[in-house]
Amino acid sequence: MTIEVAKVEIKSVADASGLEACIRAGQFAADEVVAVIGKTEGNGGVNDFTRILADQAFRAVLAKHGTRSEEDIRQVPMVWSGGCDGVITPHATVFARTKKKASGNAPRLVLGTALSPQILPEDIGRPAMVEKVAEGVRRAMKDAGITDPKDVHYVQTKTPLLTIDTIHDAKSRGHDVFCEVHESMGVSNGTTGLGIAVALGEISMPKAEEICRNLDLYSSVASCSSGVELDCAQIVLLGNKAGAGGRYKIGHSVMKDALDIDGIYDAIRDAGLSLPERPRASDLNGKLVNCFMKCEADHRAKLRGRRQIMLDDSDVHHHRHSKAAVGGVAAAAIGDPAVFVSVDAMHQGPHGGGPVIAIIDAGE
C-alpha cells in the first residue's frame, strides 16, 4: 500500500469540494483517506469556529463517498490550523493510504498515526506530558513502519489545552496546574514539542524547570497544535521508508528566523529535489506538493539586529504578525500562497524561527 497526497483549496468556510473532486477523479477512495492537515480562515484562537466547520465538511464527504462507520470516520486525524493572515490561502493537504502495490526500493513517503496515553490537566507543562507524548510518537513510528528516528521528517500533533472546567477537575483531585487558560495553548504546544524531540533522540529528557523556559531545546520536525476537544495527543507522523512505493518523498530543515528563505529551500532539497545555489519558485517545476512550517515572534524583539514591534502591538496579536510575515516569505519561495504556516512554535525549531517540512512528487 502506498501513500497518495493531494493539496486542495478551501473555497469557502465549509467547502470540501476539492476533496470530493479527488475522490470522483479516482486519485484515491474515501475509505483510503487516513489524515488531513489544513489551514482555515478564522482567527486562529480558542473560539475559531472555522476549524469545526472545515472538519465537519471534510468528514461529511468521507461519509458520503465511503463505507466507513461514523465512529471510524471520527477517528481519522484532521488537524486544522486557523488563521490565514496576509496572503495565505485556506487549503488542506489530504493523505490517503491506497491499495496500489509498492514497486522499487527507493525511499518513499510513509505515514503513521497514534494516540498517546491520556494527558491530565496537571500534566500540561510538566515532564509527565513530555513522557506521554514521547510514548505516542514511538507508537506512530511503529505504525508507519519506521525504525530509525532519522527517517522521521514531520510530526503533526493535536493536544489538549486547559479550560476552566479541567482546571477545576485537577484542583478537585488535589492537583495544581502549570499555567492559566490563556497561556495553555502555547504551553501545551511547547511541551508536546519536547516530547517529540525526546522520542526521536533530538534531546534527552528535559528537567521540569526547562519546560517552556529553555528555548535552546527543540525538535526540528515538530508541528504542534492544541484544542479543547481531546484529552490525549493525536499524532500524525510522516517519514521516508525504503521500498514503500508511491510518488512522494518528504524532507525537513529549519528557518533560523522569519526571513530565512534558504531554510525553506533546504527542506525541499532534503526531500530530494535538486535546486540551484540561489533558487527561485520557478525552479521547483511543479514538483513541490506543499510546505509545512511553524513560526512565532522572537521574544527578544529583534530580527537580524533590527527592532521589532509585533510584541508591543495592542491592536494586532503578535501571532498574526508573524504568521503573515512568514506566510509571505514562504509564498514567495514556492510561488504558491496555499502554504501551511502555524504559530505558537515554542520548542519547535530555533527561537524566532521554526521547522520547515517539504513534500515533493519524486515520480514513480
Compute mean pLDDT per 10 residues along the chain, 364 residues long, and list them. Answer: 96 97 98 96 85 96 98 93 96 95 88 96 98 98 97 96 94 96 93 98 98 97 89 96 95 98 98 97 98 95 96 94 98 98 96 97 90
Q: Which residues are CB-contacts of 73 (< 8 A; sequence separation ≥ 6)?
A: 59, 62, 63, 66
Q: How far apart are CA 109 and CA 126, in angstroms?
A: 33
Is the pTM value of this prediction over 0.85? yes
Instruction: Compute the Cα dihedral for 24, 27, 28, 34 and give only its sign.
Output: negative
Q: Which residues are CB-contacts of 146 (< 8 A; sequence separation ≥ 6)?
A: 110, 112, 152, 237, 239, 241
Buried/exposed code over 15-42 (b: 16+ C-beta within 10 A; e: otherwise): bbebbbebbeeeebbbbbbbbbbbbbbb
For 192, half-sphere exposure in the C-beta direction (CA atoms, 13 angstrom radius) is 33
Residue 291, SS3 per DSSP? strand
Are 3 and 95 spatial neighbours (Cβ–Cβ below 8 Å)?
yes
φ, ψ of residue 185 to 5 degrees: the values are -65, -50
- The CA–CA distances, whole Å, from 122 to 117, 135, 193 equal 14, 18, 17
Show which residues are catalytic.
Answer: 158, 225
How many other C-beta atoms are found inside a 10 Å radius of the C-beta of residue 173? 10
- Give me the long-range contacts of 99-104 (CB less than 8 A, separation at least 24): 99/1, 99/32, 100/1, 100/2, 100/4, 100/245, 100/246, 101/2, 101/245, 102/1, 102/2, 102/243, 102/244, 102/245, 102/246, 103/245, 103/364, 104/243, 104/245, 104/364
Q: What is the pLDDT of residue 97?
A: 96
Q: How far apart are CA 350 and CA 219, in angstroms?
A: 8
Grid coordinates of 11: 473555497
Grid coordinates of 227: 484544542
Q: How far apart are CA 226 and CA 237, in angstroms?
A: 16
Residue 161, SS3 per DSSP? coil
